[in-house]
Amino acid sequence: MNEDLKRKNKRNNLIILIIGVLIVIGVVGGFGIHNHRVASQAAAEKYARTHFNPNVKIDGVKVGKLTVAKATAKVNKKAKNHVQLRNEKLVYSYNTTVPAIDEAETKAFFKKQQTKTPSDQAYNFTTKNLAVAKKKLNALKKAELTYKINGKNYQLKAKDLLNDVSYQDNKYRFGDTSKLTEKLTQIDKEVSTLHKSYEFTVPVGNKVKGKTITVENKTWGWGVYVKKARRLILQAFADGKTTFDGTDAIYGVGYSTYAHGYGKSNHEIGNTYAVVSLKKQEVWLVRKGKLVAHLDDVVTGTMEGSKGDQTPRGVWYIHYKESPSTLRGTNDDGSSYASPVKYWMPFTLSGCGFHDASWRTDWSKKAYLRGGSHGCVNVKPSEIRKVWNNISKNEPVIIYE
């Protein structure tokens, strides 16, 4: 009996010992596992403080598990940081001359995605410069304006006229503007009055409205200053304007490059002008629609011989008025001349104009055929003030056969 009891006690003690050992092992193991978890947690938190989460992109470039410095370098090396508007679409490319991002912006993105420990949440950040460029180019793609000129309206849409546009350094950069140039050139052909022919009623005798003839603008008139218009319209598109005043980009030719006649009545001649008839050798001066002077014995450029001496036909304008003046030029035989005059009113760059001719003795109606001037309109000294007093700078001069 005692032996059995002893064996039983020994067995129980052994079981207790084993259980105790297992408990000790469990406790020690538990502490080890806990310490490992704590260490792993600390390591993960430390890693997350300096590295991007695994599923992060900047401008489409994967920067997961990279530091700010390495992410910045990778984005600058691989990001398509340049966007252009081409054929109504945004096209992305890599621009080696301009960094896509700096460390300050990368740090800002890092803070936005940062978690206590690494996270699988996906982020796709867009750099500020690229985001602004996309916004600006999308706005430009929708831009359109009304080009108003001489009573006509032309609708201009940026998407139809601009083929290569980028946005950089806070401003648009326009590449291919050939379509816009073509459009403005077309508009110029439609509205320009330079070298255009039209019917005009000239005086006869003492009547302002005499007969209707066909005249052609020479230096009189205006056209679209295409280069300037293109620059201003590009700026208007950039500024989001919806209308463009065409008069901001028109020009003239001759002594003055300002537009002549724009907006005037009477085929843009207005109601104040001078008329010269070569065949009749007469001059009419009209002011505010009324005939104020009529000279019926002037002498114009010599018709026979050198064509360079003929008074040019067409519609011109007075360049300036000068009193007194000395007219200088070359005779047909090559000799030079210098002729003093009291009143000088030129209307061509070649040197034709109104002036008194004290040296002239032949004032007959046929004097101009063989013995006329070098192209000027000679006026008797006794009548020159009628011209001088009734004509002003930039006023039209109509010369016809």
pLDDT: is 333 or 24 the higher one? 333
The percentage of residues in the chain with a pLDDT greater than 90, rounded to a whole number, is 85
Q: Is the pLDDT of residue 8 over 80?
A: no
* Range 75-96 average pLDDT: 93
pLDDT per position as a tens digit, 108-156: 999 999 999 999 999 999 999 999 999 999 999 999 999 999 999 999 9
| Element (DSSP H or E) covering residue 93 | strand 89-93
Distance CA 360, CA 251 (A): 39
pLDDT value at position 186?
98
Least confident range from 34-38, 67-71, 328-332: namely 34-38
Distance CA 179, CA 177 (A): 6
Distance CA 127, CA 230 (A): 32
Beta strands of 188-343 (E only): which ranges? 197-204, 207-216, 223-224, 243-245, 250-251, 273-277, 282-287, 290-295, 314-317, 325-330, 336-341
The number of helices, as runs of H, and strands, as runs of E, in the chain is 10, 24
Q: Is the pLDDT of residue 11 over 90?
A: no
pTM, rounded to two decimals: 0.82
Measured CA distances, 291 to 80, 268, 274 (Å): 73, 18, 10
Mean pLDDT computed over every residue of the chain = 93
Least confident range from 15-29, 59-73, 240-254: namely 15-29
Q: Is the pLDDT of residue 213 over 90?
A: yes
Distance CA 263, CA 148 (A): 13
Distance CA 287, CA 221 (A): 19
Q: Which amino acid is at 385?
A: R
pLDDT value at position 375?
96
Beta strands of 252-364 (E only): which ranges? 273-277, 282-287, 290-295, 314-317, 325-330, 336-341, 344-346, 353-356
pLDDT per position as a tens digit, 249-289: 999 999 999 999 999 999 999 999 999 999 999 999 999 99
Question: Of these residues, 51, 319, 355, 374, which one is catalytic?
Answer: 355
Q: Which CATH class is domain 271-400?
A: mainly beta
Q: Is the pLDDT of residue 313 over 60?
A: yes
pLDDT value at position 390?
98
- Please, what is the end-to-end C-alpha distance for the chain in angstroms? 160
Q: Is the pLDDT of residue 387 over 50?
A: yes
Q: Is the pLDDT of residue 5 over 60?
A: no
Distance CA 368, CA 298 (A): 9
376 is catalytic: yes
Give domain limits for the chain: 56-128, 142-251, 271-400
Q: How many CA atoms lie within 13 A of 172 on its CB side?
A: 26
Asked if the domains 142-251 and 271-400 are classified in one and the same CATH topology, the answer is no
Q: Is the pLDDT of residue 30 over 70?
A: no
In the beta sheet, which residues pair with residue 328?
A: 338
Q: Is the pLDDT of residue 299 over 70?
A: yes
Predicted confidence band at 38 (pLDDT cuts at 50, 70, 90)? confident
pLDDT per position as a tens digit, 353-367: 999 999 999 999 999
CA 67 from centre of chain: 45
| Residue from 329, 334, 332, 383 nearest 354 by CA | 383
pLDDT value at position 220?
99
* Range 370-384 average pLDDT: 98
pLDDT value at position 28?
43
Q: Which phi and psi angles does 23 have, rounded to 5°?
A: -65, -45
pLDDT value at position 334?
85
**For residue 346, cis peptide bond before it (omega within 30 degrees of 0):** no
Q: Is the CB of residue 390 less than 8 Å from the CB of residue 287?
A: yes
CATH architecture of the domain with range 142-251: Roll (3.10)
Measured CA distances, 85 to 97, 168, 179 (Å): 19, 12, 14
